[in-house]
Amino acid sequence: MQRLLISWPHSTAEGKRLTKIGNILYNKFWILLNMVKMTENDIKKALGSMKEWSYKDNEIYKEYVFNNFLQSVKFVNIIAPVAESVKHHPDIFISYNKVRVALTTHDEGGVTEKDIDLAKKIESLSSLV
């Protein structure tokens, strides 16, 4: 889904106010859309382009393998601020050189677009270690 901005003529204070209100409402609606539990078919389709991500028991997950423990910790420290910025927090498990990342939206009881979006961000971050 692509986000659009709502806009009214900015020549007046009222136009600026309506634009601001419209964008706030649109962003809240966008967040709600991302919080709808996906079907298993939609999840599998979304994961089709994501290397080694899997779906089981209402969560998506992947295990990353690094050269050592310090690289594993570095990866987790790279993920943390990104997850915090979108207010969505994965379950993360470290076992020496392996990091398992699992995502689910607890409020929805399963996987949502929010999980898929964060998984894609995490995937792009793995190359930074």
Q: What is the CATH number of the domain that holds 59?
A: 3.30.1360.20
- Spell out where 50-111 has E strands: 54-56, 59-65, 91-95, 98-103
Same domain, 18 and 65: no
- Using CA atoms, how far residue 59 sits from 20, 26, 43, 67, in Å, is 36, 27, 10, 26
pLDDT in tens, 44-55: 999 998 989 999
Same domain, 22 and 54: no
Same domain, 44 and 25: no
Domain count, the chain: 2
Report the pLDDT value the prediction gives residue 60, as an integer from 0 to 100. Answer: 97
- Is the CB of residue 129 less than 8 Å from the CB of residue 78? yes
Same domain, 79 and 17: no
| Calpha distance 82→122 (Å, rounded) | 8
pLDDT in tens, 22-36: 555 555 554 455 578
Show the domain range for 5.
1-34
DSSP helix/strand/coil, 74: helix
Looking at per-residue pLDDT, the higher value among 35 and 86 belongs to: 86
What's the mean pLDDT in 97-109?
93
